[in-house]
Structure 1
Amino acid sequence: MDNKGASRGHPRRWAILAVLAVAVFVVSIDATILNVALPTLGRELDAGTSELQWMVDAYSLVLAGLLLMAGSLSDRYGRKKLLVAGLVLFGIASVAAAFSTHSWELIAARAAMGAGASAFMPGTLSILVHVFSEEERAKAIGIWGAVTALGAVTGPLIGGALLEHFWWGSLYLVNVVVVALAVLGAAVLVPESTDPAARPLDALSTVLSVVGIAALVYGVIEQPRYGWSSPKVLAGLVGGVVVMGLFLLRQRTARHPMVDLTVVRDKRFLGSSGTMAVLMFALSGSLFVITQQFQLVLGYSPLLAGAAILPVAVALMICSPLAPVLSKVVGVRAAVVVALLVLAAGYGVFALFTKGHGYAAMVVAMALVGAGMGLAQPLVNDVLMSAGPAEQSGLLSSMNDTVQEMGSALGVAVVGSVLAARYAATYPLTGPAPATHSLDQALRTAKTMPHASAEATVSAAKSAFAHAFTASEAVCAGVAVLGAVLAAVLLPRLVAAPEGAGEPGAGEPGTAPAQSPLARETTA
């Protein structure tokens, strides 16, 4: 291929992007699609509250815990190999989930799906770094990020539509079709790539990373159930911090460390990973509250509630391709700051105007949230992937995915805590005891009460929820503003492409792409 062709990247790069987009979409929808099916699963599988929560949490816990290890393995043994193997495992586990007859079977299948997702998620982004040129990389990452967010936002809609027409197992059988297409496309189109300077895997680093991240995620996802002061939650959080401290110490002393600490200390990595955590914190926390607003306050069905969130997806898909254009005009740092302020404005509209203006105000708020996410996410991903050499793109991608999972889990935990605290603080003490805990319990309690008492209970509960909703969205707005400050301080004005990226065959066996100074320093 001539130099002009090489500067454009891999000749099949857009077809490869389509395959990778399909893969990340199925992972994203599975993170949220189960929420609308929980009442059905409770009936069909005779599952209690704890079992239902673990059906959701098992997926996220295993996914987050194994991501760092999977990214390191993909750089060492081949990103395409891990991509295909992870997709196959995800598809097999989806079949097992669809035909589960007991709660523990579905929980185990969801955990296996998380393991499969952790194997192929890092490869989807790292492969893009190798097949796209610097000129097109931001656009490609923008599409990747938009599809990822789109899957999370549309998961409840897809789940609601399937439940209205089919049995609950259809939520997982759909995965099998999508995974089959992705595996076929990956086998035919995606080139293999590895880190030519890859070192042996450090077993102790691997164990510490899995245990530390899993413990942190466990503490965060269990917080809404037990509270911040629970021994279980504290054990997870404190234990996770201690183990991750040992992990970082091991990286300083190991002969073959898993993570290059020079990359971790880089302002680009700190700024982009911190900003990404903010984005996912605010989005996940807000969606957790908004879905309750739609179903419990406005009385929408699961399908209608999923459809009601579509303004976020529409705005995100429109604005994501515009992110590289905006960054060329004002620079990456300024573009991300503007995007985060737009995001904060969206949450501000939620907090201040939805109570009196109904769904119309929510459409405005959701459009601003989608626009902010669409403008920020591609640029932040691009900065993070430029924080180290392209040869370590699998590890960088897994760090990115881990940060997103942690941010999402923390967003639901913190915003959920604010929602519960404000609801309990503003609900009248004279109401029935169950109604003081949540709007959902208040509505169920009201069904067993005389008409007049039921109306008073529902009215008081919805009023308390409105105050809690405002406080929760205000927290999301505040976090977005803090993210804008973080981006202004740490993000670079422009993004430099990691060396070795955008060259067809970069990193493939038998080739040795030019190493960046950072890579040479690491392997010296």
Structure 2
Amino acid sequence: MAVPATSTGASGSERASSTARQVLAPLALAQFICSFAGSNMNVMINDISEDLDTTVQGVQLAITIFLLVMAALMIPGGKLTDRYGRKRCLMTGLVVYGVGALLSAAAPGLGVLILGNSILEGIGTALLIPPVYILATVLFTEVTSRARAFGAIMALGGLGAAAGPLIGGLISSALSWRAAFVFQALVIVVIILLTRRIEDPLPADPTRSFDTGGAILSAVGLVCLVMGILTADDNVWLMIGLLLAGALILFGFFRWTGAKKRRGGEPLLSNDMFRDRKSNLGLITQHIQWLVLMGVSFVVSAYLQVVRGFDAIHTGVIFTAATLGLLVTSLAAGRFAKRYAQRTLIMVGFTATLAGMGVLLGLASSSPNAWAMLPGLFLLGLGIGGMLTPSVNVVQSSFPEDQQSEISGLSRSVSNLGSALGTAVAGTVIVADPAVGAYSAALIVLAVIGLGGFVAAALLPRGSAAS
């Protein structure tokens, strides 16, 4: 919202700064609640499965579908911001999300929980998250100020993901797992009230076309890939079939978008978005960061509850170590951006993350005390928090304003696909045999994937500096 000049003559930059500060609070809260929704159910696995007369696999399916719906619809959600405006999409997403949260709170069975939490909250998130990053990119134009803005948004996003188990555990233990969804609805109300003060800095263009065919192809392809991983422990041939189908459909999607652009149309996602090497590597690091964070969150939560017999609150308290580590480095993103290249920050982040996973692996077989996981989780949080912001900055800053809707949708889709795959991969291993051996195997798989993220970061151009 523009601030009128005072008698002393407020400059345009001062007005922009005031506008940015007003916008940042609801944007950061929006990212917080969406990340919270992706992780808080991990500590309520037993409570939900008993109350709804389902299984651990059923709850895992609900969690994964939520993350998958976000990933599948994030690119279409980003494109809709051009046609209907960033604020309208943000407000619509918040309302849909809030309805889904209330429906989940009243769910009589797993089916309604999936409808409310996995489908409606997933759709709401896909509508509201792209505007968050578009607005942050457009309003914060300098690298260090943008790093501080992304740092605040990613800090609350990381806080939601890392503290989701603790907050969810506290609410579940004190009241009920259903109250955790009421909490989400209340936060949504607060965000809606704060969002009313935002004015869209870019005009909507109702004449913009929407590539429905591309949206369907991209969504179906992503769904097939993740569902293929989920079926790995049940039917190998079905897994292979789904993975191949997903790969072929996504190949068809890229052929579709290329052909549409050659005909002079506007595709859902231009293939040109993948021609920037720095952005591609940044997307890989984003994908792997969220895959590792959500994968470790699911594995450790399942292990503590199923193997060690911890309740929701004790599981959440153990995760506080990861939350603290993530906050320490996320909130320092602005200062780090002034001193170090983004490539360096991402590489150091992956190094700390891998070290934390190594500590967790060592303790899995050597320590009978689950509280000994705290150092490993703290290191993991430090590493993830330190590289979330520079990875987003690398990607968003690689494109001009007129491509922000596309890159924001793609960036968030890649990150949420990582979250979905992390839960799917880790859950497939540990749910098959929830014992120390399976826990260690899941962490090893996640660590190998994390090593791939380090390699991608090392390949970033050395000039990818934040200052």
- Name the TM-score, length of structure 1 as normaliser: 0.79
Task: Determine the structure 1 residue equivalent to 2:332.
Answer: 322
Letter in 2 for 1:377: L
Native 8 Å contact 2:136 2:150 kept in 1: yes
Deviations 1:453-480 (A, max 9, x none): xxxxxxxxxxxx4444344333333332
2:453 corresponding residue in structure 1: 483
| 1:388 paired to 2:395 | no
Task: Tell me the amino acid that sits aligned with residue 378 of structure 2.
Answer: A
Following TM superposition, the consecutive aligned residue runs of length 4 or more in structure 1 with deviations greater than 6 angstroms are: 1-4, 195-198
> How many residue pairs get matched?
453
1:159 and 2:168 equivalent?
yes
Deviations 1:426-482 (A, max 9, x none): xxxxxxxxxxx624xxxxxxxxxxxxxxxxxxxxxxxxx444434433333333232
> In the alignment, does 2:126 pair up with 1:118?
yes
Matching of residues 74-473 of structure 1 within 5 Å: 74-110=81-117, 111-134=119-142, 135-194=144-203, 199-220=208-229, 222-223=230-231, 226-227=234-235, 229-231=236-238, 233-254=239-260, 255-353=265-363, 355-357=365-367, 358-359=369-370, 361-419=372-430, 438-439=433-434, 465-473=435-443
Q: CA deviation at 1:496?
A: 7.9
CA distance in structure 2 between the partners assigned to 1:306 and 1:204 by the alignment: 42
Q: Aligned equivalents of 1:176 and 1:77: distance in 2?
A: 24
Could you tell me which residue of structure 2 aligns to residue 42 of structure 1?
Answer: 49
The alpha-carbon deviation at position 316 of structure 1 amounts to 0.9
RMSD: 2.7
2 CA distance for matches of 1:278 and 1:57?
16
> How many Å separate the matches in 1 of 2:102 and 2:180?
10
CA, structure 1 residues 8+377, in 2 after alignment: closer, same or farther (shift >3 Å)? Answer: farther
How far off is 1:57 after superposition?
3.3
* Residue in 2 that maps onto 1:512: none
CA distance, structure 2, for counterparts of residue 194 and residue 241 of structure 1: 36
Distance 1:4 1:264 in 2: 39
Decide whether aligned partners of structure 1 residues 336 and 259 sit closer, same or farther in structure 2, where only a CA change above 3 A counts: same
Q: Which has the larger radius of gyration?
A: 1
| CA displacement, residues 476-502 of structure 1 (integer Å, 9 cap, x when unaligned) | 3333232122111135523589xxxxx
Q: Is the 8 A contact 1:202 1:257 kept in 2?
A: yes
Q: Does 1:493 align with 2:460?
A: no
TM-score, normalised on structure 2? 0.89
Alignment of 1:31 with 2:26, yes or no, is no
State how far apart, in whole Å, the 1-side matches of 2:416 and 2:350 are: 19
The alpha carbon displacement at 1:331 in A equals 1.3
Letter in 1 for 2:186: V
Separation (CA, whole Å) in 1 of partners of 2:433 and 2:246: 30
Cα distance in 1 for residues equivalent to 2:47 and 2:439: 26
CA 1:330 to 1:27, structure 2 compared with 1: closer, same or farther past 3 Å?
closer
Amino acid at match of 1:179: I
Partners of 1:215 and 1:284 in 2: how far apart?
20
8 Å Cα contact 1:122-1:398 kept in structure 2: yes
Q: 1:156 to 1:267 in 2, by over 3 A?
A: same
What amino acid sits opposite 1:98 in the alignment?
A: A
Unpaired runs of 5+ in structure 1? Answer: 421-436, 440-464, 498-524
Instruction: Classify 1:294/1:491 alpha carbon distance in 2 versus 1 (closer, same or farther; 3 Å).
Output: farther
Matched-pair contact (CA < 8 Å) for 2:364–2:439: no
* 1:349-383 deviations in Å (ceiling 9; x for gaps): 22224543545642221121111111111000011
1:22 and 2:47 correspond: no
Residue identity opposite 2:193 in structure 1: L
Residue type of the alignment partner of 2:310: Y
Return the offset for 1:199: 4.1
Worse-superposed segment, 468-477 or 372-381: 468-477
Flag structure 2 segments of 5+ consecutive residues without an equivalent: none
How many percent identity over aligned positions?
Answer: 27
Instruction: Rate the CA distance shift 1:100–1:285 in 2: closer, same or farther, 3 A.
Output: closer
| Native 8 Å contact 1:278 1:483 kept in 2 | yes
Separation (CA, whole Å) in 1 of partners of 2:294 and 2:255? 32
Structure 1: how far apart are the matches of 2:463 and 2:341? Answer: 5
